[in-house]
Structures are given as structure tokens and as C-alpha cells.
Amino acid sequence: MSNQQIYNFLLGLSILIAVVFIVLILVTSKGDAMSGGGAVRTTFKGRATVDDQIAKLNMYLAGAFLVSMIVLDYFANRLPR
């Protein structure tokens, strides 16, 4: 694979990750995300709730997007100008 093909693949993957991340945030937002937290949630026992699973998915998507942007930048600097 050439650098251009890898770049195009990573660009598409990054856009897909960003769209899924945005949709997940918009669909699951409760409106209190910027309010400073209101209540402290601790879930040390039992099964993880849906909110915990969504929070974990958000964390993974954000990490994947960050890594894809770093790798995308690396390949963007390797393309012929």
C-alpha cells in the first residue's frame, strides 16, 4: 500500500469514528454535562449500568480518534507535495 492509500483509509476511518462519537454524545446527552456534576456516582458493586457502558464507549472512541489523528498527521507529512 502506498502512503496515499493509507492516508485515505485513515481519513475515512477518522471521519467514521468522529461521526459515531458525535451521534453517541448527542443521543445520550442528559443536558447536565456542563453543569459541574450535580451528583457523585459511585458504582463499586454490581453490574455496570448502561450509562457506565456508554461512558466507556465514549472513552474508547475518543482515544481511537486521538490515535487516528496522530497517525493521520504522520502519513500526511509523508505524502508528496
pLDDT in tens, 33-71: 544 444 555 556 667 788 788 888 889 999 999 999 999
Burial of 72 by CB count in 10 Å (0-12 exposed, 13-18 middle, 19+ buried)? middle
**Per-residue pLDDT, 66:** 94
What is the value of pTM for the model shown?
0.71
Task: Give residue 19's Cα distance to chain centre.
Answer: 9
Give residue limits of the domains in the chain: 3-28+46-76
Contact yes or no for 74/6 (Cβ under 8 A): no
